[in-house]
Amino acid sequence: MTDVRAVAAPELSAAELASRFGMARAGARPALLPYARDLWGRRHFVLAFARAYNAVGYSSSFLGQFWQVLTPLLNAGVYFLVFGVILHTRRGVSNYIGFLVIGIFVFHYTQNSILTGSRAITANIGLTRALHFPRATLPVATTVIALQQLLVSLVVLLPIILITGERPSPRWLLVVPAVTLQTIFCLGCSFVLARIGARIPDTAQILPFLLRTWLYLSGIFYSIKNLTQSLHGEWLRRLLEINPGAVYVELVRDALLAKHSTYVFEWPVAVAWATVMFLGGFVFFWQAEEEYGRG
Amino acid sequence: MAEAPFPTPETSSAGSALLDLERVPTVIVEDIHLIYRIAGRRARSNAPAALFGMLKRGQPPGMREVHAVRGVSFTAYRGEAIGLIGPNGSGKSTLLRGIAGLMAPQSGVIYTSGQPSLLGVGAAMMNDMSGERNVVLGCLAMGMTPEQVKEVYDDIVDFAGIGEFISLPMNTYSSGMGARLRFAIAAAKTHEILLIDEALATGDAEFRRKSEKRIHDLRDQAGTVFLVSHGLGVIRETCNRAIWLEKGKIVADGEANAVVDAYQDRHDPDARVLEATAVPLVLDEASSI
């Protein structure tokens, strides 16, 4: 039996041979900028993935994609019944229905992108193991899917707030920058949770509890301003107000509800959260690029 | 046994070391160790027992390590088709995943030219989506543009040859059909390095012929093909070099027929006699086409 190892030019080390022929280490993590460029190159994949996912997600039900509209409507109905009719949380909020429905739809987007982001790698482990591509495409794809659902919800939202007495105004256009900032924030969250979820399988069990706690702290069913004025000091209100769960919701309410008043630093806080989460999350995810799909 | 008209490693490198440098290496594997972890697979009888086990051991629950590849080194060159043989659990598939860059080695280093593509039976794509969507998504994930996907789409569907099943979800496919579609998708792109893990085993004779021809084409296009198969006949037919692994270590590395002969002598001397009678049959199948 001839041993081919012995034949491979003994005077050259593997590293020298590799550099002579311009070879790269297998599975090496690319530098941050080439990685980002590679990710941009897969944008068609992200869009096709999101489209296919939406088509398949409801394919086993009779109503099909109509559920995309029905689910947010039913959600709003349930919360209105509990908090608006039974508990009478509406005190101090003009147009409580609009207030509540915007809160639920917008917060649900953050919640949804975090939840699906945490499963981005694990749910697509087959694809991860079969093909080589920048893994960050997966959390981006799950966020795009969540964004599509938000956009459907916003279409449902328009007639609701018109019925509740709001009048169209140029101010409504502020929804676009608000949702854009929120999407950047959600991408960052998705990156962070995707890495954690890939490493710790139990994330999927813990996350729903954390997200529900966050939901109750973010002023979705009640006005943070009214509640904290009566109960606690200024500092608690400030803390609840800079919480990103509340910030993006407040921005959209501000844009769509004529009588909604909010505090001044909302936009800078929204930009800060988006920037910090996105950049931090992207680097955090990229650092473990070689680990995904392993084992 | 008809040997392919490709120079075997021995004949082409028999000369000086200088000659060697004219051959272009595509994969260099140097003393690698691959260890994979299995998470959360240690099933306990009930929840309290699981908790108690965690407290007693003081280690993350259900983490086990398998040292699958232990110090393997070799260099692969352009135009080679290398068969990896060995008993189950000898580290063949793990080694391929290491070369594909899907698994980081514990120690040692693997260099490759270009991005190797791994094709395996286990690697399902998106099971609840139709074959059509899998073709498009697979191509896009490999980095093609939508225009390129349109160009190759019909070729892929033709090559897979699974008829109207292409519009059904992949979880309705037989294992053979799934393998055909995956191979067709991966083969749509010219790969410098193609790694095939038992993907041809489930296909029928006609598909096997088509895919073996495709492997020869890839070799002709100066690519390198790695093939894991338990079908030693396939290794003899398609490969010009074979590496025999046993418990994560290389036992032999050289001309395919010689290595396969030695492997059979060790593991199953009876089978060799059987296969000797089967060889003309295989050749018939190949030449009747």
When mean pLDDT is compared across A213-217, B12-16, B194-198, the lowest value belongs to B12-16
Q: What is the C-alpha end-to-end distance of chain B, expressed in Å?
A: 18
Rounded CA separation A287/B186 (Å): 28
B25, B104, B253 member nearest A5 (Cβ): B253
Q: What is the C-alpha end-to-end distance of chain A, expressed in Å?
A: 34
**Is B9 in the A-facing interface, judged by CB distances under 8 Å?**
yes
* Shortest Cα distance, chain A CAs vs residue B215, angstroms: 19
Identify the pLDDT of residue A294: 65
Dihedral of the alpha carbons of A232, A234, A238, A240, in degrees to the nearest 10: 10
CB-CB under 8 Å, B73 with A21:
no
Mutate to test the interface with B, among A16, A43, A44 (most CBs of B within 10 A): A44
Instruction: Classify the C-alpha dihedral A126-A127-A133-A135 as positive or negative.
Output: negative
Q: What percent of chain B has pLDDT over 70?
A: 72
Mutate to test the interface with A, among B126, B192, B241, B266 (most CBs of A within 10 A): B126
Stretch B171-194: mean pLDDT, rounded?
A: 81
Residue B108: φ, ψ to 5°: 85, 180
Rounded CA separation B6/A214 (Å): 65
Identify the pLDDT of residue B203: 67
Sheet of B63-77, strands arranged across:
A24-25, B107-112, B25-39, B63-77
Rounded CA separation B154/A5 (Å): 42
**Is B28 in the A-facing interface, judged by CB distances under 8 Å?**
yes
Chain A hits for B138, CB-CB cut-off 8 Å, are 130-131
A4, A28, A126 member nearest B253 (Cβ): A4
Stretch B14-25: mean pLDDT, rounded?
A: 55
Distances (CA, A) of A166 to A73, A256, A292, B210: 19, 8, 48, 66
pLDDT in tens, A62-109: 777 788 788 888 887 887 788 777 877 666 778 888 888 899 999 999
* Shortest Cα distance, chain A CAs vs residue B282, angstroms: 26
Nearest CA in chain B to A48: B137
pLDDT band at B219 (very low <50, low <70, confident <90, very high): confident
Classify B68 as helix, strand or coil: strand
Identify the pLDDT of residue B7: 40
CB-CB under 8 Å, B38 with A295:
yes
CB-CB under 8 Å, B137 with A48:
yes
Dihedral of the alpha carbons of B54, B58, B60, B63, in degrees to the nearest 10: -80
Identify the pLDDT of residue B8: 41
Nearest CA in chain A to B27: A23
Q: How many CB atoms lie within 10 A of CB B204?
A: 10
CB-CB under 8 Å, A28 with B113:
no
Q: What percent of chain B has pLDDT over 90?
A: 19
Helices first, then strands: H and E counts in chain A: 14, 1
**The pLDDT of residue B195 is above 60:** yes
Stretch B59-83: mean pLDDT, rounded?
A: 82
State the average pLDDT for chain A.
Answer: 85
State the average pLDDT for chain B.
Answer: 76
Give A23: exposed, middle or buried? Use CB within 10 Å, 0-12, 13-18, 19+: buried
**The pLDDT of residue B35 is above 80:** yes
In chain A, which among 91-130 make CB contacts under 8 A with chain B? 124, 126-130
Nearest CA in chain A to B95: A26
CB-CB under 8 Å, B255 with A2:
yes
Rounded CA separation A50/A138 (Å): 10
* Shortest Cα distance, chain B CAs vs residue A210, angstroms: 22
**The pLDDT of residue B197 is above 50:** yes
Cβ(B268)–Cβ(B22) under 8 Å? no
Q: What is the complex's ipTM, to 2 decimals?
A: 0.72
Distances (CA, A) of B271 to B1, B200, B279: 16, 21, 12
Looking at the DSSP bridge assignments, the partners of residue B63 are: B39
Cα angle vertex B202, ends B198, B206, to 5°? 115
When mean pLDDT is compared across A7-11, A12-16, B118-122, the lowest value belongs to A7-11
Rounded CA separation B116/B101 (Å): 8
Q: Of B101, B106, B105, B104, whose CA–CA distance to B116 is shortest? A: B101
Stretch B202-212: mean pLDDT, rounded?
A: 77
CB-CB under 8 Å, B25 with A23:
yes
**The pLDDT of residue B176 is above 50:** yes
CB-CB under 8 Å, A295 with B143:
no
Cβ(B142)–Cβ(B70) under 8 Å? no
Chain B hits for A41, CB-CB cut-off 8 Å, are 143
Cα angle vertex A95, ends A92, A97, to 5°? 110
When mean pLDDT is compared across A30-39, A203-212, A230-239, B236-245, the lowest value belongs to A230-239
In chain A, which among 53-92 make CB contacts under 8 A with chain B? 56
CB-CB under 8 Å, B126 with A7:
no
Cβ(A103)–Cβ(A220) under 8 Å? yes
Cα angle vertex B145, ends B207, A129, to 5°? 55
Instruction: Return the top range by mean pLDDT from A50-59, A64-73, B253-262.
Output: B253-262
CB-CB under 8 Å, B38 with A26:
no
**The pLDDT of residue B45 is above 60:** no
**The pLDDT of residue B22 is above 50:** yes
The runs of H, that is alpha helices, within chain B are: 9-13, 17-22, 47-57, 92-99, 131-141, 146-160, 175-187, 205-220, 232-238, 256-267, 269-287
CB-CB under 8 Å, B252 with A4:
no
CB-CB under 8 Å, B103 with A137:
no
Q: Of A93, A255, A284, whose CA–CA distance to A178 is shortest? A: A255
**The pLDDT of residue B81 is above 70:** yes
Top-confidence residue, A284 or A80: A284
A17, A23, A127 member nearest B125 (Cβ): A127
One-character DSSP codes across B89-146: TSSHHHHHHHHTTSS--SEEEEEESS--EEEESS----TTSBHHHHHHHHHHHTT--H
Top-confidence residue, A187 or B164: A187
CB-CB under 8 Å, A18 with B252:
no
**The pLDDT of residue A12 is above 80:** no
Top-confidence residue, B164 or A14: B164
Q: Which residues contact B43 (CB under 8 A, 6 or more apart)?
A: none
Cβ(B235)–Cβ(B158) under 8 Å? no
Stretch B36-59: mean pLDDT, rounded?
A: 61
**The pLDDT of residue B285 is above 70:** no
Chain A hits for B262, CB-CB cut-off 8 Å, are 1
CB-CB under 8 Å, A137 with B141:
yes
Stretch A223-238: mean pLDDT, rounded?
A: 71
pLDDT band at A39 (very low <50, low <70, confident <90, very high): very high
Rounded CA separation A192/A286 (Å): 10
Classify A136 as helix, strand or coil: coil
**Is A6 in the B-facing interface, judged by CB distances under 8 Å?**
no
Give A29: exposed, middle or buried? Use CB within 10 Å, 0-12, 13-18, 19+: middle
